Amino acid sequence: MFEFSSFAAALGVYVIGTATPGPGNLAIANTSLNYGRTPGLALAAGVISGSLCWGAMTAAGVSALLMSNTQVLVWLKVFGACYLFFLAWKSIRGALANNATMVARASERQSRTLGFYLQGLGIHLTNPKAALTWFTVTTVGLSANAPVWTSFVLVAGCALLGLLIFCSYALAFSAHSAEPFFARTRKSFGLICGAFYAIVALGFLRSLF
């Protein structure tokens, strides 16, 4: 049976989990701040694609099988930690670079939209918490006897909300009107992002022991 109240609650859970600062939206903000709107939107598209992959696998029951396999979960956390350490290094290096270097990097990377897209995709696909978030969303939004089609409608609804949220991050942090403020805070924001990535990565590794 389809229950609209549960469906709406699940969308609310997804919005809170997605809008709250995490590896995905912090990466979008940092990329938009340093490299501009197009790279930020490309990375946002990658994050959304990764989220949609986990959502589709959850709806089909595939991710539940993967996450119940201890070996798969261990390797996913290891890969996720390594990738987050790499992002931490990139964020800290970017924060410590001088403005001239950042302008040169920005102009060089403006055309590398595929690279930014793959970075966003990697952030979400190597994050086991993304799968757990989807488990929570589907648990809240779907009853035991809910029709199969409702799970895919829920995924589509969450994907649309994710598109709005992640693209909003990219547009906000690349807005010309905000440039003076972000120019002053670029270094500190990059260092915060780097520290956040490192802390999450250490959390992944710590959970293995």
Q: Going from the first residue of the chain to its last (209 residues), give the mean pLDDT of each consecutive group of 10, the final group possibly shorter.
A: 71 82 85 86 93 82 63 77 82 70 50 84 83 77 70 85 90 74 69 82 80
| CA-based nearest residue to 41, from 129, 123, 164, 157 | 164
| CA-based nearest residue to 51, from 149, 158, 151, 154 | 158
Name the packing angle between helices 148-173 and 128-141 (round to 10°): 130
H helix runs in the chain, sequence order: 4-19, 23-35, 37-60, 62-68, 70-96, 99-109, 113-125, 128-141, 148-173, 179-206
154 found inside a domain: yes
Q: Which residue has the tokens 């990139």?
A: 90
14 found inside a domain: no
Q: Domain range holding 99? A: 23-206
Say how far residue 198 (Cα) sits from the centre of its chain: 15
pLDDT of residue 104: 46
pLDDT of residue 164: 92
Rg (CA), the chain: 18
pLDDT of residue 100: 47
15 found inside a domain: no
68 found inside a domain: yes
Q: Which residue has the tokens 């991710």?
A: 63
49 found inside a domain: yes
pLDDT of residue 48: 92
The CB-based long-range contact list for 58-65 (8 Å cut-off, 24+ gap) reads 58/131, 58/134, 58/135, 58/137, 58/138, 58/151, 58/155, 59/138, 59/151, 59/152, 59/154, 59/155, 63/131, 63/134, 63/135, 64/135
Q: Which residue has the tokens 């969308």?
A: 11
Number of domains in the chain: 1
18 found inside a domain: no
162 found inside a domain: yes
30 found inside a domain: yes
Query: What residues contact residue 45 under an 8 Å CB cut-off, 6+ apart?
Result: 117, 120
pLDDT of residue 41: 93
